[in-house]
Amino acid sequence: MSVASLRRAVTESVSGLPKAFWWLWTSTLVNRLGAFVATFMALYLTLERGYSASYAGLVAALHGLGGVVSSIGAGVMTDRLGRRPTLLIAQASTALSVAVLGFMEHPVAIAGVAFVVGMASNASRPAVQAMMADIVRPEDRVRAFSLNYWAINLGFAISSAGAGFIASYSYTAGFLIEAAMTMVCAIVVFMKLPESRPVRTALEKAAEPAVGLGTVLRDGRFMGVVGLSFLVALIFQQGAVGLPVAMGEAGFTPADYGLAIAVNGVMIVALQIPVTRFIEHRDPRRLLVISSLIAGYGFGLTAFAGSVGVFAMTVCVWTLAEIVNAPTQTGLVVRLSPTHGRGRYQGMYTLSWSVAALVAPLMSGLIIDRFGAEWLWGACAVIGTVAALGYWGLMRRLPEEYVVEEHVSQERVPEVSDAETVAPRTDSVAAPRP
């Protein structure tokens, strides 16, 4: 590809998105650049503080449990208080709790504050997704979600390398740097991002029933997507929990695992944008079925890995599925969510990933200890097949407007110039039918 072609491709990938989206994108990137706690918590507790691996696992589980608890609460806040206040509260709380965590010494205090950090750091996700759906045109949402996912992985890749150098100097400095960067994000949200929550007229409120958590739970089609999302997330989580354990038991070193898993971040940073350009106008039904199969059997191939190179090859396979699945599934969630209930719906979707983060370590440990790693990778292949069949059955019954909305949409969002703010929108993605 020539330089001119590459420049044109990049321009087309990032053009047409409102200014508010790029402030939100920058906030995501800065947050991930400062992701010190999630990356080095286990090493901090075992090497710096001298606690056992079991205690480190307990703290990690409490951190994840905090995310589970906040998923629903943050979704409700996003709809009731608004996207901007929820983001501000979540990021400011994250900054303060991370700073406090760096100075905790008693094991109970560390565990308690880690739970609070998990709650605060996860609380921003429903608000970010809802705001992104508010301010981006429907036909651009897959591209916007893809760019945001790219920012998450780019920030994580850079922070993982930088945090290693910071940790060699001072773990406390790492906590304080993350707190400072997260507080910068909170200030950016307050200064640059106006509220985007759609404002409904009295007539619209009378015509459309209020959306509560019960509404979400009774939405069988959406809850089916949440369940399938949980299965897919359970597979992808094995890259961080099952794979290192299996490689360690097979005699590979942490450096070997680091080399293999680094392929995941490199591929996402390098391929997320071009792959999204390729899939942007393709049928999401097929993309979700195919990506689920590739994810399951990509991990399934790990059963035959005997060298770092083969492990890296399997990472390449399931990373491709991740690149396709993430923006496609997020776009589907938005299309199935009524505009005035996006926060609750996004909170429920976020919950599927948070619960998967809790279940995956238990699943991998139990299967590896009792049956061996090969059975874990076989289970991943089975789960991927079940998810693919689930998507196939669910999407067959999905009305056509939910599938083609990203491609041929009647919903138009005015472009936002540098001098404009994001006005609350009253247009709506079709609400789920009873």
- What are 7-17's pLDDT values in tens digits? 665 666 677 78
DSSP single-letter state for residue 138: G
The full length of the chain comes to 434
The Cα 193–Cα 199 span in angstroms is: 17
pLDDT at 212 over 90: no
> What is the predicted pLDDT for the residue at 10?
60
Take residue 360 and report the two structure tokens written for it: 């995956």
67, 357 Cβ separation under 8 angstroms: yes
Q: Where in the chain is the domain with CATH 1.20.1250.20?
A: 18-195, 215-402
Superfamily (CATH H level) for 215-402: MFS general substrate transporter like domains (1.20.1250.20)
- Rounded to whole angstroms, the Cα distance separating 426 from 413 reads 10
pTM summary value: 0.70
Asked if the model's pLDDT at residue 113 lies above 60, the reply is yes
**Tens of pLDDT, residues 87-97:** 889 889 999 99
Q: What is the CATH number of domain 18-195?
A: 1.20.1250.20
Residue with tokens 């940790």: 167
Angle at 372 between CA 369 and CA 378, to 5 degrees: 125
How far, in Å, CA of 145 to CA of 346, rounded?
13
Residue 199 confidence (pLDDT): 66
pLDDT at position 211, please?
A: 67
Distance CA 32, CA 51 (A): 27
Of 287, 273, 274, the C-alpha closest to 148 is 273
End-to-end CA, the chain: 49
DSSP annotation of 47 reads: I
